[in-house]
C-alpha cells in the first residue's frame, strides 16, 4: 500500500488538500500536529501533517464522507493535540518539515559570519534541535580566546593597529586592569609623531597613577626600558602605520626591533564596527608584526561581532579583550565565551541548560 504525506496549516486543510491530490478514497493513517520552529525572520506556525493511503481502487471513486475519515483517524498514531497535556504536546513538536541548516545559515549570515568559520559551524548540522543553542555551543568551542595573555602576560605588551582604532584608550584600560591584580605596570609611548598623542597617554597615566615615558627615538626607548626594568609589565603604545609615510613605518619597526620578541605580546586593535574585508586589509599591513592576540574595540557601536570572529578564526589570532565604550578604565572586559554570545544577534545563551550540558561532559 502506498502512503502519502500531506502538510497544511490545520487538520481540515490537510484532509482537503489530500482529497484534492489523491481523491475522496483516501484514509487517514496518522496525524501529527506540530509548530514550525521560528527563526530570526520567521514566526512559529502551527502545522498538521497527515499520512494517508487509498483504501482500495474500488472505493477511490466512491464518495467518502467526513464520518469515514474521522473513523479512520481513530487509528491514527498521534491524537488530536487538544486532548494532550502541555508536556505531551511539546513532545510532539517536530521540525521535520523545515530543515535546520538553512535557518542556521541565515542566522550566521545575519551575524556577518563568513567562511571558513561559517562552514565549521554548520558542519554535519543535526536535523533537529534548537538552532541558536546548537550554534552557540559550537561557537563557544570554536572561538579563540587568548586566555594565556590574560593570565600569564609577557613583560612587553605592544599595541598595534590603525589610527583611531582605540590603541591608546584600550592600552590604558588594560594596564589598569593588570595594575589592579597587583602587578607593577608602566606605559611607554612611541607616538611622538601625532599632536597631542603624548598628552593623551600622559593624562591617562596620571589619572590611573601609572608612570608614562615618551620614546620617539631608539636611545629614549632603551633608557625607558631600563628605567622600568624592575616593573612586571611595560605597555608600549604605538602610532598607526601610514600607507604614505614609509619613513614613519620604518621608524616604528626599528624601535620595536629593540624589544625582546620572546618577551613581547603584540596586540592588534580591531574595531568591531569595521567590515571584515576592511579588517583583512588592515591586518595585511600589520601581519609583519605577527600579532599574538586581538583587542576588539567599540562593541558599543555594533550589533554583532560575527565579522571579527570570522577574521579571528581565519587568521588564527585569538581575542584577548573587548571594549565597549570610551570610559577609561571601566569600559573593558576580558574576552570570554559569554561576552562573545552576548554580542551575537539571535544567539540565545541559556546558561542553565548550558551549564547542565557542560557538567555532563
Ligand X SMILES: Nc1nc2c(ncn2[C@@H]2O[C@H](COP(=O)(O)OP(=O)(O)O)[C@@H](O)[C@H]2O)c(=O)[nH]1
The span from the CA of 96 to the CA of 129, in Å, is 10
If binding is defined by CB under 6 A, does position 292 make contact with ligand X?
no
**166 sits near ligand X (criterion: CB under 6 A):** yes
Decide: 168 and 237 in contact? Cβ < 8 Å: yes
The set of residues, in sequence order, having a beta carbon less than 8 Å from that of 247 and lying 6+ positions away, is none
Distance CA 239, CA 218 (A): 15
Q: Among residues 33, 73, 137, 324, which is the contact residue for ligand X, using CB under 6 A?
A: 324
- CB nearer ligand X, residue 95 or residue 289: 289
Rounded CA gap, 115 and 313, in Å? 9
Minimal CB distance residue for Mg ion: 168
**Longest Cα–Cα distance in the chain:** 102
CB of 161 to ligand X, least distance (A): 6
Q: Does 300 bind ligand X (CB under 6 A)?
A: yes
Binding region for ligand X (CB under 6 A) out of 6-14, 33-41, 149-157, 298-306:
298-306
Beta strand 46-54 with 26-35: parallel, antiparallel or unpaired?
A: antiparallel
Please select the residue that binds ligand X; options are 164, 196, 254, 348, rule is CB under 6 A. Answer: 164
Of 28 and 332, which CB lies nearer to Mg ion in the complex structure? 332
**DSSP secondary structure, 39-105, as one string:** -SS----EEEEEEEEES-HHHHTS---HHHHHHHHTT-SS--GGGS-HHHHHHT---TTS-HHHHHH
* Residues counted in the chain: 361
Contact status: 165 vs Mg ion (CB under 5 A): no
Q: Minimum distance from CB of 84 to ligand X (Å)?
A: 51
State in angstroms the smallest separation of the CB of 262 from Mg ion. 26
Q: Counting contacts by CB under 5 A, is residue 189 touching Mg ion?
A: no
301 binds, among Mg ion, ligand X, none (CB under 5 to 8 A by kind): ligand X
Number of amino acids touching Mg ion (CB under 5 A): 2
Any bridge partners for residue 32, and if so which?
49
Q: Which of 168, 269, 297, 302 lies at the binding interface for Mg ion (CB under 5 A)?
A: 168
* Binding-site partner at residue 331 among Mg ion, ligand X, none, CB < 5 to 8 Å by type: ligand X
Under rule CB under 5 A, residue 297 binds Mg ion:
no
- The SS3 of residue 229 is coil
Which positions touch ligand X (CB under 6 A)? 161, 163-169, 269, 297-298, 300-301, 323-326, 331
- Residues of this chain that interact with Mg ion (CB under 5 A) are 167-168
Amino acid at each position: 500500500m502506498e502512503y502519502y504525506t500531506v502538510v497544511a496549516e490545520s487538520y481540515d486543510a490537510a484532509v482537503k488538500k489530500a482529497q484534492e491530490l489523491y481523491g475522496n478514497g483516501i484514509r487517514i493513517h496518522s496525524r501529527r500536529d506540530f509548530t514550525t520552529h521560528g527563526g530570526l525572520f520567521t514566526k512559529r506556525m502551527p502545522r498538521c501533517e497527515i499520512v494517508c493511503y487509498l483504501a482500495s481502487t474500488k472505493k477511490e471513486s466512491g464518495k467518502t464522507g467526513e464520518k469515514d475519515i474521522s473513523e479512520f483517524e481513530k487509528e491514527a498514531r498521534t491524537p488530536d493535540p487538544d486532548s494532550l497535556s502541555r508536556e505531551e504536546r511539546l513532545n510532539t513538536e517536530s521540525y521535520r518539515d523545515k530543515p535546520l541548516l538553512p535557518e542556521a545559515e541565515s542566522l550566521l549570515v545575519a551575524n556577518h559570519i563568513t567562511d571558513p568559520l561559517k562552514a565549521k559551524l554548520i558542519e554535519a548540522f543535526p536535523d533537529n534541535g534548537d538552532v541558536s543553542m546548537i550554534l552557540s555551543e559550537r561557537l563557544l568551542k570554536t572561538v579563540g580566546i587568548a586566555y594565556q595573555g590574560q593570565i600569564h602576560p609577557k613583560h612587553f605588551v605592544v599595541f598595534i593597529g590603525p589610527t583611531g582604532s582605540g590603541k591608546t584608550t584600550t592600552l590604558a584600560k588594560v594596564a589598569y586592569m593588570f595594575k589592579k591584580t597587583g602587578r607593577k605596570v608602566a606605559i611607554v609611548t612611541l607616538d611622538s609623531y601625532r599632536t597631542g598623542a603624548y598628552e593623551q597617554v600622559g593624562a591617562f597615566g596620571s589619572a590611573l597613577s601609572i608612570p608614562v615615558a615618551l620614546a620617539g627615538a631608539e636611545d629614549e626607548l632603551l633608557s625607558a626600558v631600563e628605567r622600568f626594568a624592575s616593573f612586571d609589565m611595560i605597555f608600549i603604545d604605538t602610532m598607526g602605520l601610514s600607507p604614505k609615510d614609509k619613513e614613519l613605518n620604518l621608524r616604528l619597526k626599528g624601535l620595536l626591533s629593540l624589544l625582546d620578541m620572546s618577551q613581547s605580546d603584540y596586540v592588534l586593535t580591531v574595531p568591531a564596527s569595521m567590515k571584515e574585508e576592511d579588517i583583512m586589509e588592515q591586518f595585511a599591513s600589520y601581519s609583519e608584526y605577527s600579532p599574538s592576540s586581538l583587542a576588539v574595540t567599540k562593541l558599543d557601536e555594533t550589533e554583532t561581532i560575527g565579522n571579527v570572529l570570522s577574521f579571528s578564526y581565519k587568521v588564527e589570532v585569538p581575542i584577548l579583550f573587548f571594549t565597549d565604550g570610551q570610559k577609561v578604565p571601566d569600559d573593558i572586559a576580558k574576552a570570554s565565551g559569554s561576552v562573545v554570545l552576548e554580542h551575537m544577534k539571535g544567539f540565545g545563551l541559556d546558561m542553565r541548560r548550558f551549564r547542565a550540558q557542560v557538567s555532563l561532559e
